A and B are shown apart, each in its own frame.
Chain A
Amino acid sequence: MPKNTPLLELKDIHKRFPGVYALQGVSFDLYSGEVHALLGENGAGKSTLVKILSGIYSKDQGEIVIDGKPVKITNANEALENGLSVIHQELVLVPHLSIAENLFLGREPMLRNGLVDFKSMNVQTQKFLAEFGLSLEPEAEIASLTIAQQQMVEVVKAISFNARIIAMDEPTSSLTDKEVNSLFSHIRDLAKRGIGIIYISHRMSELFEIADRVTVLRDGKYIGTRNVNETTADELITMTVGRPISKYYNRTYNTNNEVILEVKDLCSRKVKNVNFDLRKGEILGFSGLVGAGRSETMRAILGIDKITGGTVEFEGEKIQVKNTAQMIEKGFSMVPEDRKEEGIFLFQTLKFNLTLKTIKEFIHFIFVKNAKEDEIADKYMHSLSIKAPDTQTVMNSLSGGNQQKVVISSWLATQPKILILDEPTRGIDVGTKSEIYEIMNELAKKGVSIMMISSDLPEILNLSDRVVVMCEGTTTAILDHTEATQEKVLQCAVKI
């Protein structure tokens, strides 16, 4: 708990990039044993601040003070030497090496004869993993682990450097509630050991659970610091967005329309006996632990994975799912879980991304109707308030939230009847999240049927008309929003 001199002080940090004033005199302090959260929209400067701490960027102005002494951090090694360890939002593990090899990358224990001491490496790794309650083999290849497990390995790695200050950037974005609880108990352990933790997350509920203080940044400026037990979610949201968000989840519930999709005993290689129905104009939430089979169910419905059993009935007729193009033609669409890997074309323009799925409307043989393409791109760029100078902007200069909006837009352009959203607000700031919720509500009102997979329970519980719970590849319950609670959902998500 807080002592007299801060463990870490950032004083008046400035950082400029060509065209962006990323940090405008930001100050921040951290006491030993404290969990201090950093909150702000994408582009607020949180990641920049953390990158300066980890030596990836160097500050233009300002001081970094550790234990009362100013320090110089110009590269990753200097950061580590000063006891600073950062776990980034983008996982940086080497996929084809083992957990042990990743943990000890660059500091492998050596035998007398100059070869790597694999035995010692594995033994030490096993100790670290056990300490963290992870039942993983040190020799397991990273690529064979789930995203959630990989994130846990990243956390273990940071801790293995005996850091005194650990910064975590969105560490729970792919973790289930159980794994989050485990992470939090470890964070509390670390805090008890006197380690200072900087915790960056968009998830308000987490901040209230784990953090002692919270600092809000907005547009590169320091807005304020609060003790967590002296503030409210509403106050924090107002600080991050700069305006009051009156109603965060605002839904007009609607469960009484006709059934548009009926899935009976659906089986594929990854799921078995999946049963649910989707009604017109509803938001059907899909809840469950990571690995429960939600994304896999959608992949089967869309013809990406092969269906081995069961039936799919769309608009009252049984259909044979052959391939993705056919399902898109019928009116299905899916915003995938990992937009960078599966959703966007990073080095292409906004226009390319927005119009790829609708090229049938403006390219016939070798004739391209540029005007029509521009019309589609402009319409969907504005309807979702995508923040970019114009449609010729390249995707990699957009924030994560705006990139996600582009993916959603590109599907809306196909005027789908069914929109599948897989973790639609993962890694996205508060302001954009609320915009996306509004968009979903409007779409549902217009009659688009939405299936939403999310690991954010408050999101699922507040947004869905009904909630489908899955466990180990099969559906275990369908709950109406009036009866769905956190406990009920968790009960059905776990195998007894």
Chain B
Amino acid sequence: MTVNTLKNNVQKNGLLLSIKRNLGILVGLAILCTIIAINSPVFLTTKNIMNVLRQISANLFVACGMTIILIAGGIDLSVGSTIAVIGVAAASFLDMGMSVPLTVLACLGVGAFIGFINGFIISRTKITPFIVTLSMANVLRGLAYVYTGATTIRINDRGYINIGTGFLGPVPLPAIYIAVVLMIVYLILNKSRLGRHIYAIGGNEKAARFSGIDVKKVRLLIYIFSGLMAAVASITLSARSYSGNPTAGEGAEMDAIAAVVLGGISMAGGNGHISGTIIGALIIGVINNGLNLMGIHSFWQMILKGVIILVAVYADYMKNARSNKASEA
């Protein structure tokens, strides 16, 4: 029987391994950047690159949460609506005179709470995560509209606005938050017991249970984390847009799933690495940014984005199909 050596294992030369593993999409990203750079001189300027980093940060936060959830075999369709709710909440808290730090804390709390409700229902009942989070999405979006009467609440607090628009030297603040979050996710997935449990549950839930893993607890935790990530995304977004908007985050879950799937993580669960998600989010961000710079109409952008994602996922599938066939003897 042929040997199918899994390259997806974190070893000492982690960076080299990441590159090898994600070679397909890295090449894709390089080609994309080359095409855009040729067509637009602005693309590779520092200012634009920083822009891209800031723009993908919101999606990356959500994608981090989504990565963990997809690896565990679940899904969270409520993140977009959560972003709306928390943006509105932030604006309201600030309006009521709450200080910026307290507002941030309260928003994180709301996000965690929403995640807790999702996780609780999912872990204690047999209802699929798809339905639970989809319903929650509707409820939350509705709540946001009801509360605001479908208007936006303006944010004037300079301190809060700086969270999303500020810089540390040449680096936008959100890029720093994203670096911290990515480090946390990397540590959870690769260096903690919880991470192993997550991979195990996604790989074979029954076997995980028989191995003594507390499946309920892990499920609860990962949805709370997803809610927290949506909260972080929402805070940076609302800060940048100076408002709490009940329409914020429309389609955020789809963008996050696109980034994760582009990064090579299977929807069935049990495998995948955060490095893939980063590249996936970069590809989407670069497409958005590049097509804008080239003056291409946003409707065409939609079409192009869809096609590129399909091609990338298909390429990944072909690569896996070939290696799976070889091991069948």
Chain A residues within CB distance 8 Å of chain B = 17-20, 22, 43, 48, 302, 304, 323-325, 327-329, 334, 336, 341-349, 351-352, 356-357, 359-360, 363, 365-368, 370, 388-390, 392-394, 396-399, 410
Contact check: which of A325, A348, A367 meets B6 at CB < 8 Å? A348
Q: Are B192 and A366 in contact (CB under 8 A)?
A: yes
> Per-position contact with A for B186-214: 1 when CB-CB < 8 Å, else 0?
01001111001001100110110111111
Query: How many pairs, one residue from A and one from B, have CB atoms within 8 Å of each other in the complex?
Result: 116
Assembly CA distance A327 to B187 (angstroms):
29
Q: B125 within 8 Å of A by Cβ?
A: no
Q: How far is the CB of A221 from chain B (nearest CB, A)?
A: 15
Q: B45 within 8 Å of A by Cβ?
A: no
Assembly CA distance A393 to B3 (angstroms):
7
Residues of the A chain whose Cβ atoms lie less than 8 Å from the Cβ of B179: none
Q: Are B191 and A345 in contact (CB under 8 A)?
A: no
Residues of the B chain whose Cβ atoms lie less than 8 Å from the Cβ of A22: 329
Q: Are A347 and B271 in contact (CB under 8 A)?
A: yes
Which B residue sits closest to A353, measured CB to CB? B207
Residues of the B chain whose Cβ atoms lie less than 8 Å from the Cβ of A410: 211
Residues of the A chain whose Cβ atoms lie less than 8 Å from the Cβ of B196: 352, 356, 359, 363
Assembly CA distance A393 to B204 (angstroms):
18
A325 and B214 in contact, given A366-B187, A397-B2 (Cβ under 8 angstroms): yes
Contact check: which of B2, B191, B204, B324 meets A367 at CB < 8 Å? B191
What would be 29 A-B contacts, judged by CB atoms less than 8 Å apart?
A: A18-B326, A19-B1, A304-B210, A323-B212, A328-B212, A336-B206, A342-B204, A344-B204, A345-B204, A345-B207, A346-B204, A347-B6, A347-B270, A347-B271, A348-B6, A356-B200, A357-B211, A360-B193, A363-B192, A366-B191, A367-B191, A368-B190, A370-B12, A388-B3, A389-B3, A390-B5, A392-B9, A393-B3, A394-B5
Residues of the A chain whose Cβ atoms lie less than 8 Å from the Cβ of B211: 324, 328, 356-357, 410
Contact check: which of A304, A349, A359, A397 meets B1 at CB < 8 Å? A397
A-B pairs, 9 with minimum CB distance:
A19-B2, A325-B212, A345-B203, A397-B327, A328-B212, A366-B191, A397-B4, A18-B326, A342-B206
Assembly CA distance A404 to B164 (angstroms):
53
Between A325, A356, A390, the greatest number of chain B beta carbons within 10 A of the residue's beta carbon is seen for: A356
Other CB < 8 Å A-B pairs besides A324-B212, A327-B212, 15 of them? Answer: A17-B328, A325-B212, A341-B207, A346-B203, A348-B6, A348-B270, A349-B6, A349-B9, A351-B9, A359-B196, A388-B3, A389-B5, A393-B5, A396-B324, A397-B2
Residues of the B chain whose Cβ atoms lie less than 8 Å from the Cβ of A341: 204, 206-207
Q: How far is the CB of A15 from chain B (nearest CB, A)?
A: 9
Q: Are A393 and B329 in contact (CB under 8 A)?
A: no
Q: Are B207 and A397 in contact (CB under 8 A)?
A: no
Residues of the A chain whose Cβ atoms lie less than 8 Å from the Cβ of B212: 323-325, 327-329, 357
Assembly CA distance A398 to B6 (angstroms):
13
A368 and B4 in contact, given A323-B214, A343-B207 (Cβ under 8 angstroms): no
A392 and B5 in contact, given A324-B212, A345-B200, A347-B203 (Cβ under 8 angstroms): yes
Q: Are B1 and A399 in contact (CB under 8 A)?
A: yes
Residues of the A chain whose Cβ atoms lie less than 8 Å from the Cβ of B2: 17-20, 397
Which A residue sits closest to B327, measured CB to CB? A397
Which B residue sits closest to A334, measured CB to CB? B210
Q: How far is the CB of A472 from chain B (nearest CB, A)?
A: 25
Q: Are A342 and B6 in contact (CB under 8 A)?
A: no
Between A334, A336, A368, the greatest number of chain B beta carbons within 10 A of the residue's beta carbon is seen for: A368
Q: How far is the CB of A22 from chain B (nearest CB, A)?
A: 6
Q: How far is the CB of B170 from chain A (nearest CB, A)?
A: 30
Which B residue sits closest to A399, measured CB to CB? B1
Residues of the A chain whose Cβ atoms lie less than 8 Å from the Cβ of B204: 341-342, 344-346
Interface residues on chain B, number (Cβ under 8 Å): 33
Which B residue sits closest to A388, measured CB to CB? B3
Assembly CA distance A356 to B206 (angstroms):
14
Residues of the A chain whose Cβ atoms lie less than 8 Å from the Cβ of B271: 347-348
Between B6, B209, B211, the greatest number of chain A beta carbons within 10 A of the residue's beta carbon is seen for: B211
Between B6, B196, B199, the greatest number of chain A beta carbons within 10 A of the residue's beta carbon is seen for: B6
Q: How far is the CB of B204 from chain A (nearest CB, A)?
A: 5
Between A347, A360, A390, the greatest number of chain B beta carbons within 10 A of the residue's beta carbon is seen for: A347
Assembly CA distance A261 to B143 (angstroms):
56
Q: Are A343 and B199 in contact (CB under 8 A)?
A: no
Assembly CA distance A285 to B263 (angstroms):
49
B residues 312-329 in Cβ contact with A at 8 Å: 324, 326-329
Q: How far is the CB of B10 from chain A (nearest CB, A)?
A: 9
> Per-position contact with A for B1-32: 1 when CB-CB < 8 Å, else 0?
11111100100100000000000000000000
A324 and B209 in contact, given A17-B329, A18-B2 (Cβ under 8 angstroms): yes
Which A residue sits closest to B328, measured CB to CB? A17
Q: How far is the CB of A370 from chain B (nearest CB, A)?
A: 8
Assembly CA distance A339 to B134 (angstroms):
34
Assembly CA distance A253 to B186 (angstroms):
51
Q: How far is the CB of A56 from chain B (nearest CB, A)?
A: 10
Assembly CA distance A334 to B210 (angstroms):
8
B residues 201-236 in Cβ contact with A at 8 Å: 203-204, 206-207, 209-214
Residues of the B chain whose Cβ atoms lie less than 8 Å from the Cβ of A388: 3
Assembly CA distance A344 to B212 (angstroms):
14
Residues of the A chain whose Cβ atoms lie less than 8 Å from the Cβ of B191: 363, 366-368
Residues of the A chain whose Cβ atoms lie less than 8 Å from the Cβ of B327: 394, 396-397
Q: How far is the CB of A16 from chain B (nearest CB, A)?
A: 10
Residues of the B chain whose Cβ atoms lie less than 8 Å from the Cβ of A18: 2, 326
Assembly CA distance A324 to B214 (angstroms):
9
Which B residue sits closest to A390, measured CB to CB? B5
Assembly CA distance A359 to B213 (angstroms):
11
Q: How far is the CB of B215 from chain A (nearest CB, A)?
A: 10
Q: How far is the CB of A88 from chain B (nearest CB, A)?
A: 13
Residues of the B chain whose Cβ atoms lie less than 8 Å from the Cβ of A399: 1
Q: Are B210 and A363 in contact (CB under 8 A)?
A: no
Q: Are B192 and A19 in contact (CB under 8 A)?
A: no
Q: Are A348 and B199 in contact (CB under 8 A)?
A: yes
Assembly CA distance A330 to B198 (angstroms):
24
A304 and B209 in contact, given A20-B2, A325-B214, A349-B9 (Cβ under 8 angstroms): yes
Assembly CA distance A74 to B245 (angstroms):
61
Assembly CA distance A324 to B209 (angstroms):
8
Q: Are B329 and A20 in contact (CB under 8 A)?
A: yes
Which B residue sits closest to A402, measured CB to CB? B1
Between B1, B193, B209, the greatest number of chain A beta carbons within 10 A of the residue's beta carbon is seen for: B1
Contact check: which of B1, B3, B5, B193 meets A43 at CB < 8 Å? B1
Q: Are B210 and A20 in contact (CB under 8 A)?
A: no
Assembly CA distance A202 to B81 (angstroms):
57
Q: How far is the CB of A296 from chain B (nearest CB, A)?
A: 14
Which A residue sits closest to B211, measured CB to CB? A357
Assembly CA distance A48 to B213 (angstroms):
37
Contact check: which of B9, B209, B210, B326 meets A19 at CB < 8 Å? B326
Residues of the B chain whose Cβ atoms lie less than 8 Å from the Cβ of A359: 193, 196
Assembly CA distance A43 to B206 (angstroms):
28
Which A residue sits closest to B3, measured CB to CB? A389
A48 and B5 in contact, given A345-B200, A346-B204 (Cβ under 8 angstroms): no
Q: Are B326 and A343 in contact (CB under 8 A)?
A: no
Q: How far is the CB of A219 from chain B (nearest CB, A)?
A: 12
Q: How far is the CB of B68 from chain A (nearest CB, A)?
A: 15
Q: How far is the CB of B276 from chain A (nearest CB, A)?
A: 15
Assembly CA distance A419 to B78 (angstroms):
44
Assembly CA distance A341 to B6 (angstroms):
21
Residues of the B chain whose Cβ atoms lie less than 8 Å from the Cβ of A396: 4, 324, 327
